[in-house]
Amino acid sequence: MDQVITAPPRRPPSHPGEPVRAGRAEGSLGPPLRIAMLAPPWISVPAQGYGGVESVVSALTEALVARGHHVTLFCAPGSVSRATVVTLLAASHPDEIERSIYEVDHVGQAFDQIDLAIEGERFDVVHDHSGFTGLAMAGRLQTPMVHTLHGAFTPETASFYARHGHKAALVGISQAQLATAPPGLTPIAAIPNPIDLRAWPLQERKRDYLLWVGRITPEKGPQRAIAAARLVDVPLVLAGVVQPGHQEFFDREIAPHIDGSAVRYVGEISGAVKRSLFAHARGLLMPIRWAEPFGMVMIEALACGTPVIAFPEGAARDVIDDGRTGFLVADERGMADAIGHLHRIRPADCRDWVRRTCEVDLAAAAYERVYRAVAPRGLTRV
């Protein structure tokens, strides 16, 4: 039976020993807001392994709390935050992502709680990251909604947003993503996904291996990363989850190359292991062949001072400053050639790009401006 569990504010274990900031931070743009943060129902916040949206939601939520706002995080069981945590389903569903029954159940229960908030405890704004249900039903809420576009525009999603996009303030995550938005859609702000640089160590001295991180799928290109690394005989570490439906691809295209030396597969990574692999890698390979709307792994690599070699697909063109933070190349041969030039990239330049573009306090301030633009006059004072 589904249940509602409201936990007291807890801090995430991301930064042991770091002091917790309380109250209104200097960077806040006005009186505190009551924010309902609606995460997806599939994976806990922050994600322990795969879960890019959940990691983004976690970083943003913690930054908003630090800025003095009162955030209620509606999320999957097992989540940890300094915000007020409310879980709505009895279990998380990492192997059933996009099953509509769980998304609808999660969003419906969240909307019920938002509607039932008593006077003085009402939310000023709902920030939706949950998928499609929240936006489609936003018109029934009295509270205004901000909806972050976490996916790429396809013919199907473009039609959806053309019909429902007017129900909320839409926020994109890259210019490349917004360039493919359907005509006539309400003007959309672009706020890059945030990262908390304190959690990602800058490493100036690199080891010899290359790194590929992601879901093991053809469009993400682990097979192309293997081909590029083999061309120049540089060791490659593959890290990522094999999700349902892709085991055959892994067995056919990836497994035959894994030998524990030239190609190592370490499975899904998280925590200190993940940070260490990113930090010490000679470079991250990003051989995608689809319109990736952001690519959080590129930001995580750059935060550690690790340059990225990518195909010019989707947001890679926004993220990679060619020749300064990495290289944009056309194919596997170009990727192999660029590997020989990685020593020209200064790790400090990679991290500085992230600091100026994606640092979490920048994103929190940008979202706060959006919240205040859509929230009704006479905001709740707390």
What is the structure's pLDDT at 24?
Answer: 43
CATH number, domain of 334, equals: 3.40.50.2000
Q: What contacts 16, CB < 8 A, 6 or more positions away?
A: none
Whether residues 210 and 171 fall in one domain? no
Task: For residues 262 and 186, state if they share a domain.
Answer: no
Say if residue 150 is in the same domain as residue 51: yes
Closest CA to 219 of 244, 193, 249: 249
In a domain, 311, yes or no: yes
**Residue 368 confidence (pLDDT):** 97
Q: Is 22 within the bounds of a domain?
A: no
CA–CA separation, 81 and 242 (whole Å): 28
Measure the CA–CA gap between 49 and 270, rounded to whole angstroms. 5
* Residue 19: alpha-carbon gap to chain centroid: 25
Q: Answer yes or no: is 293 within a domain.
A: yes
Residue 69 lies in a domain: yes
- Would you write out the chain's pLDDT as a tens digit for each of its 382 residues? 333 333 333 333 333 223 223 334 456 678 999 999 999 998 899 877 666 899 999 999 999 999 999 999 999 999 999 999 999 988 877 667 667 888 899 999 999 999 988 766 899 999 999 989 999 999 999 999 999 999 999 999 999 999 999 999 999 999 999 999 988 887 788 999 999 999 999 999 999 999 999 999 999 999 999 999 999 999 999 999 997 889 999 999 999 999 999 999 999 998 899 999 999 999 999 999 989 999 999 999 999 999 999 999 999 999 999 999 999 999 999 999 999 999 999 999 999 999 999 999 999 999 999 999 999 754 544 4
Predicted pLDDT at 164: 95
Mark whether 213 and 336 lie in a shared domain: yes
Domain membership flag for residue 150: yes
**Same domain assignment for residues 201 and 319:** yes
pLDDT of residue 358: 96
* pLDDT score of 376: 79
pLDDT tens-digit series, residues 185-225: 877 889 999 999 999 999 999 999 999 999 999 999 999 99
Task: Classify residue 219: in a domain, yes or no.
Answer: yes
Question: Does residue 319 sit in the same domain as residue 225?
Answer: yes
Instruction: Round to whole Å and give the CA distance between 86 and 232.
Output: 50
Comparing C-alpha atoms, which of 161, 119, 163, 164 is closest to residue 142?
119
State pLDDT tens for residues 69-113.
Answer: 999 999 999 999 999 999 998 887 766 766 788 889 999 999 999
Q: Which residue has the tokens 């590129």?
A: 298
> Is there a single domain that holds both residue 146 and residue 256?
no
Q: Which tokens sit at 343? A: 């020593």
Q: What is the pLDDT of residue 22?
A: 32
Question: CA 159 to CA 104: how far, in whole Å?
Answer: 20
Is 135 inside any structural domain? yes
Domain count, the chain: 2
Domain range enclosing 84: 5-17+32-196+359-374
Residue-level pLDDT at 50: 64
158 lies in the same domain as 245: no
Q: Are residues 48 and 158 in the same domain?
A: yes
> Is the residue at 302 inside a domain?
yes
Same domain, 331 and 341: yes
Do residues 150 and 238 both lie within one domain? Answer: no
- Whether residue 44 is found in the same domain as residue 134: yes
